[in-house]
Amino acid sequence: MAKTVIIESAGGPEVLKLVDRPVGEPGPGEIRIAHKICGLNFIDIYQRSGLYPLPLPQAMGMEAAGVIEAVGNGVTHLKPGDRAAYAANPPGAYSEARVMPAAQVCPLPDDVSFEQAAAMMLKGMTVQYLFHRTTPLQAGDSVLFHAAAGGVGQIACQWARSEGITLIGTAGTDEKCQMALDHGATHCINYRTQDWIKQVRDLTRGEGVDVVMDAVGADTFEGSLDCLKPLGMMISFGNASGPVPPFNIGILGQKGSLKITRPTLFTHIADHDTCQAMAQHLFAKLAKGDVTIRISQRFPLAQVADAQRALEARETTGSTVLEV
């Protein structure tokens, strides 16, 4: 048996329940992992609230790190006793232990702690696909990144700096803006006190940026289009303020033949070899010192509802982890 956080209906943080569930043995292509630390991400809130519907009842959580206890037939990249981490479907990471598909579970280098891994797998591989798999980016290019002081944002700021990319961030307080700058943002705009669209245009001498990376959603979508150069790329990869409402695709032509995509990490990591390569790229960035992981909040697993409330209210910075 393992303590596991589940939901039986969609709703607010109060629907999260900590229960005992049987774990069982791994079947072909599966592993059993004992978790040490679990990660917290906005996708967990989207799933809990029903924005991303799940079959119910459902174990929750998409990211964790721990030790492999058993492997099923056909699993060759992991063995019992290995340290490992993942960000992967299906949900179930908010638990002491689980059985899950092995393909997206990654061996963990000795110099990466369980806490670092649980705080960075989903966020770090998200940044990897944003900068390397979505649209070509190279040194000298410019990016507008919303929520630059959050867990994904802090990694993105460092990633951009390490590759010579100008990153203009936005954040909701002066303190968060300074945090983004400290992590490598070239500029950061307080969207509560400044006209961030005008500021972006001014900082780019009226040209706009090559790419917008936006996980905020409804509140920033329309303005983000106005910050792009002609032929620029809008990457909408999250919905922290709510989903982007329907819009007239003709607007993209009017604003400069813009491009738009709505990617998800789980499409990019669906292939085993690609997932492992993305994780290795992330680990290499960490080993070189290009990226460090800031863990600003820690909660016991039993207090997961409080952790989600803090994340949903945008009261957190950096990464948040759940201690098993």
Per-residue pLDDT tens digits for 102-153 = 999 999 999 999 999 999 999 999 999 999 999 999 999 999 999 999 999 9
Phi and psi at residue 66, to the nearest 5°: 180, -155
Whether 140 and 258 map to the same domain: the answer is yes
For residue 128, being part of any structural domain is answered with no
* Contacts (Cβ under 8 Å, ≥6 apart) of 206: none
Residue-range definition of the domain harbouring residue 276:
2-122+266-323
Task: Write down which residue in 237, 262, 287 finishes a domain.
Answer: 262
* Separation in Å, CA 199 to CA 167, 168, 172: 13, 10, 15
Per-residue confidence at 262, pLDDT binned at 50, 70, 90? Answer: very high
pLDDT 10s digits, 152-178: 999 999 999 999 999 999 999 999 999
Closest by CA position to 139, among listed 83, 210, 222:
210
User: What is the pLDDT, as a whole number, of residue 314?
Assistant: 85
For residue 153, being part of any structural domain is answered with yes
Closest by CA position to 265, among listed 83, 121, 109, 65:
121
Ranges assigned E (strand) in the chain = 2-7, 17-21, 30-39, 58-59, 63-71, 83-87, 97-101, 105-107, 142-145, 166-171, 187-190, 209-214, 228-236, 259-261, 295-300, 319-323
* Separation in Å, CA 302 to CA 1, 18, 45, 100, 252: 16, 7, 16, 22, 46
**Rounded percentage of the chain residues whose pLDDT exceeds 70:** 100
Runs of H (alpha helix) within the chain:
42-49, 114-132, 151-162, 174-182, 196-203, 221-225, 250-254, 265-268, 272-288, 304-312
User: What is the pLDDT, as a whole number, of residue 317?
Assistant: 85
* Contacts (Cβ under 8 Å, ≥6 apart) of 264: 237
> Beta strand 97-101 with 142-145: parallel, antiparallel or unpaired?
unpaired
User: What is the pLDDT, as a whole number, of residue 240?
Assistant: 86
Closest by CA position to 215, among listed 241, 196, 246:
241
Q: Are 87 and 105 in contact (CB under 8 A)?
A: no
Q: What pTM was estimated for this model as a whole?
A: 0.94
Q: Alpha-carbon torsion 17, 23, 28, 29, what sign?
A: positive
- Token pair belonging to 263: 């990617």
- Token pair belonging to 261: 């995509």
Whether 21 and 67 map to the same domain: the answer is yes
Whether 103 and 169 map to the same domain: the answer is no
Whether 41 and 62 map to the same domain: the answer is yes
Q: If DSSP codes are grouped into helix, strand and coil, which group holds residue 41?
A: coil
Q: What's the total number of domains in the chain?
A: 2
Phi and psi at residue 161, to the nearest 5°: -60, -40
Whether 145 and 107 map to the same domain: the answer is no
Per-residue confidence at 185, pLDDT binned at 50, 70, 90? Answer: very high
